[in-house]
Amino acid sequence: MNTVPSTALHVATTGSDAADGSADSPLRTINRAAAVARPGDTVVVHGGEYREWVTPPRGGLSDSRRITYEAAPGEHVVIKGSEPVTGWERGGGDVWTVAVPNTLFGAFNPYAEEIEGDWIVYPEKDTPRRHLGDVYLNGRSFYEVSSLSEVFDPPLRTEMIDDWTGATDLVRDPEQTRHVWYAEVGPDRTTIWANFQDADPNAETVEINVRRSVFYPTEQHIDYITVRGFELAHAASPWAPPTADQPGLIGPNWAKGWIIEDNVIHDAKCSAISLGKEASTGNNYATLRGDKPGYQYQLESVFTARQIGWDREHVGSHVVRRNTIYDCGQNAVVGHLGCVFSTIEDNHIHHIGTKREFYGYEIGGIKLHAAIDVTIRHNRIHDCTLGTWLDWQTQGTRVTRNLFHDNNRDLFVEVSHGPYLVDHNVLGSRASLEVFSQGGAFVNNLVCGTVSLEPVVERPTPYHVPHSTQVSGYAAIFGGDDRHIGNVFLGGDARHAYGPTAREGQVVGYGTAGYDGHPSSLSDYLDQLADPSTGDHERFMSAKQPVYIRDNVYASGAAPYEAEEGAVVVDEPDVSVVVVEDGDGVYLEATLPPGFDRVRTRPVTGRDLERVRLVDAEFEDRDGSPVQVDTDLVGTLKPATETYPAGPLAALASGASRIRVW
């Protein structure tokens, strides 16, 4: 085939894969264009619906010589992993049935593939497993049920229980839970029964999951690809724990330098965007072998990854920006190891994990392991079971200028040693912050709900040479070694006053009083270790790490750390802060008393933050320079010569205010 000499290859629904790919003679499929594209080329896809799994066979050579896939300007391009299904027959009442030939699926039948793997949780050993298939009526997904009888008599679920906190969530659309399906896979055909309620599936658009992914290479190290401006939907992506291959609806598959931007991505069965691990370093061995816990296999995967080239030169450095991601069963963005040195910014993420068809310990809007030097900046994350979960090796990570609200839980940092920085965020949900880690810095945040603290000594985890994937050591999580400066903490339900919980060592409450008993300086900490009669290892086991806490505001019953300097406790009533949607904007509406204005701080830099004790590392940007914490939630630069109020907004003040935050 002769290609056009220009760098643009055109694809259109009216095209032909025998064409030359010019604007006047476009190709028919994106995969055909991918087979032709070379570094520096742009694949321009024109409006319409494309049903294919795009598997680019090659990538670019550098950031300036990448291969770009983009929707034609002003045109709506949809790429789906589903196929339309017609020929439904009534099975009785509102139930219809169809038999689909298995040739439609090829070697991967989503209705035979169970949602299974490490850290998935089913109520009982013999609980029927859910599957990767799905049924969509006019774009809205159904719920899988466990038996044919439940298709005819589906339960109406009006609320769901959050499996971690026990909190109750109202279902987004209770009536939608009556739209259910069930499938049986035979040797030649897959038979699907679905309850369409009052709809006629032969008169509406009905689609079923067919393909695992929508835009995902089958080979590794397909580098420097840009995917821009598409609607990407309906993928039978599998459960993606950190000890397994982690394919998503879209992702680089263990490569470097992808840009995924300006897309609308929805209805991934599990994960939408994967920046994750590949299979050779472990693939659900804890489940398949049953001989060791997932924790141990995960630890091994870190060292195995180093042997196959897990480093800045070969993996990571991706950009995920300005995407809208919603209605996915597990994650909007997932990654382990492959996410290093990446930036996730300006995305709108919502309704992740809220169908609750299945449950496991890897569900959240953003769920990353080994987020080394990852920046999570200016995202709006709401109506998720968990907004962002950073798990293992959160080092050099920055969570800045994000808007979290109406999640079951906002931010969870687990078994990490730092240094990591959380600054200028609104944590607006009832469970705002969970720190099962050490070595964090929390600066100028608004924390509207509970703060949960817990050491984790039974799962030692790795830490690294700063700004590198090279493992420096590993250690248990004793808790503490945290910094809190210029935050606003709000109180709430008195039942969450700080105190012991069912899990040993955990405290849950409002404010920073959970750090009581920790020394307030490194010198005080070292004094605890000065007894030569105590063994080298034992003296550290019983000594609480220092914390560095100053200049925070506490209201509505939130309580400060006992040794805090500059704490302002506001006792006035009628304090309120709420996140409100109004038209196309989102606003922070606050009523704050005069005492709020008593805290004024200058912008913080890495030089103001004490080094992280165990890792022996400073708070730095990726280039090794001291971090600058000088830009507020809405992008206002805070000059170092001036002082500013506590919290994420430079304009926040006492009295009533309404500030647009998205």
Q: What whole-number distance in Å separates Cα of residue 367 and Cα of residue 361?
A: 10
Q: What is the model's pLDDT at position 534?
A: 83
Q: What whole-number distance in Å separates Cα of residue 51 and Cα of residue 13?
A: 11
| Fold match, 81-212+223-268+275-319 / 371-660 | no
pLDDT, average across residues 619-631: 97
Which of 1.20.58.100, 3.30.200.20, 2.160.20.10, 3.40.50.620 is the CATH number of 371-660?
2.160.20.10
Percent of the chain with pLDDT over 90: 87
Q: What is the model's pLDDT at position 493?
A: 73
Contacts of 635 (CB under 8 A, 6+ apart): 378, 401
Q: What is the model's pLDDT at position 272?
A: 98
pLDDT greater at residue 3 or residue 101:
101
Q: How many alpha carbons lie under 13 Å from residue 25 in its C-beta half-sphere?
A: 10
pLDDT class of 6 with cuts at 50, 70, 90: very low
Q: What whole-number distance in Å separates Cα of residue 439 and Cα of residue 609?
A: 11
Q: What whole-number distance in Å separates Cα of residue 510 and Cα of residue 496?
A: 7
Q: What is the model's pLDDT at position 500?
A: 52
pLDDT, average across residues 257-283: 98
pLDDT class of 574 with cuts at 50, 70, 90: confident
pLDDT class of 173 with cuts at 50, 70, 90: low
Residue 160 pLDDT > 60: no
Question: How do the domains of the chain map onto residue ranges?
Answer: 8-76, 81-212+223-268+275-319, 371-660
Q: What whole-number distance in Å separates Cα of residue 294 and Cα of residue 305?
A: 16
pLDDT, average across residues 220-249: 98
In 437-520, the DSSP E strands lie at 440-443, 446-447, 450-453, 456-464, 471-477, 483-485, 488-490, 507-509
Helix (H) or strand (E) holding 305: helix 294-307
Q: 544-560, pLDDT tens digit by residue?
A: 999 999 999 999 999 99
Q: Find the length of the chain.
A: 662
Among the residue ranges 190-204, 413-427, 458-472, 519-533, the one predicted with the least confidence is 519-533
For 231-300, give the DSSP string: EEEEE-PPP--TTS----SB--SS-B--EEES-EEEEESSEEEE----GGG-SSHHHHH-SS-HHHHHHH
Computed over every residue of the chain, the mean pLDDT equals 94
Q: 642-651, pLDDT tens digit by residue?
A: 999 999 999 9
Q: 31-44, pLDDT tens digit by residue?
A: 999 999 999 999 99
Q: 337-358, pLDDT tens digit by residue?
A: 999 999 999 999 999 999 989 9
Q: What is the model's pLDDT at position 499?
A: 53
Is 2.60.40.1180 the CATH classification of the domain at 81-212+223-268+275-319?
Answer: yes
Task: Give the chain's radius of gyration (CA, Å).
Answer: 26
Q: Is 496 left (phi over 0), alpha (psi -120 to 50) or beta?
A: alpha
pLDDT, average across residues 134-154: 95
Q: Domain 8-76: which topology?
A: so0334 like fold (3.30.1910)
Q: What whole-number distance in Å separates Cα of residue 81 and Cα of residue 248?
A: 12
CA–centroid distance for 138 within its chain: 27
* Residue in this structure with the two tokens 């690294």, named with its chain if needed: 464
Q: What whole-number distance in Å separates Cα of residue 273 and Cα of residue 265?
A: 8
